[in-house]
Amino acid sequence: MLEEYKALRAEIVSTLAAAYGTTEITVAAVGLLVAGSKFAVENGWPLMLIGASVLFYALALIQLRYEHAVWNMSNQIILTTAPTIRTAISKVTGTPLPDLNAVLSWESDGRQHNHPQIGWTFAAEAARYGLPLFAGLSACIAYVAVVKWDSCCQVVLHSLAIIVDIAIFVCCLFMTVMTRKLLRSSQASSQPNTSPPGVAQMDTDVPQNIEKTHL
C-alpha cells in the first residue's frame, strides 16, 4: 500500500506539471493570436481565427481532463490507500485509529483549502481553463467583426463557422461549470476514514460519489 501511495503521489505531481505546462502553452497561444490576427485578416484568412478559437477550446478540455484525473487519484488516496496504511500502523503500534487521522492527511486537508465553499474564489480556481475559454470566445468575436458578408455563399459559410464555434464554447462552458460543481460539492468525500477498510463503509454514499467522478 505504501508503494501505491508513492505511485499515486508521483502521478498527481506529474499530472499537475502537465497542467501547468498546458497553461504556459495557452498563454503563448494568446500572444500568437494577438500578433497574428492582423496578418490573417489582411491576407484574407479570417478562418484562422475560428481555428484558433477551436484550439483554445481543446486546451480548456485538456485542463478539465487533468482536473478529473487528479481528483480521482486524490479520492483513491483519501478513501482507500491512506486509511489502509493508518489501519496497518494502528495494528502494529496499538495506536487508536482516531489518533492517526493526521497521518497522510495532506490530500484531504489540501482539498478543503484549495476548494473552499466561497463564491469569489471561482474565478481564481478556474483560471487554468477559463483563460482558454475566454481566448477562444474572443477569437470568435474578432472573426464576426472582420469577415465580409457580401455574398450569399459568404453568409452561409460564416454563419456555419460561427454556429459551430459557439456550440463548442457552450459545451466547454457547461463541462467547466459541472467540474467546478463537482469539486465543490464532494468535500464530504475528503474527510479521512477512521474505520478499517471494508468496515462501516457500506452505509455511506461516498463510493457512489467517487464512481461518478470517473470519465
What does pTM read for this prediction? 0.72
CA–CA separation, 75 vs 206, rounded Å? 10
Q: What is the pLDDT of residue 130?
A: 85
Parse the chain into domains and list their residue ranges.
2-213
**Predicted confidence pLDDT, tens digits, the chain (215 residues):** 778 878 888 898 899 899 889 988 998 988 888 888 778 777 778 888 899 999 999 999 999 999 888 888 888 888 888 788 778 777 778 777 776 776 766 666 555 555 555 556 666 666 788 889 999 999 999 888 888 777 788 788 889 999 999 999 999 999 988 887 877 765 444 444 444 444 333 333 334 343 333 44
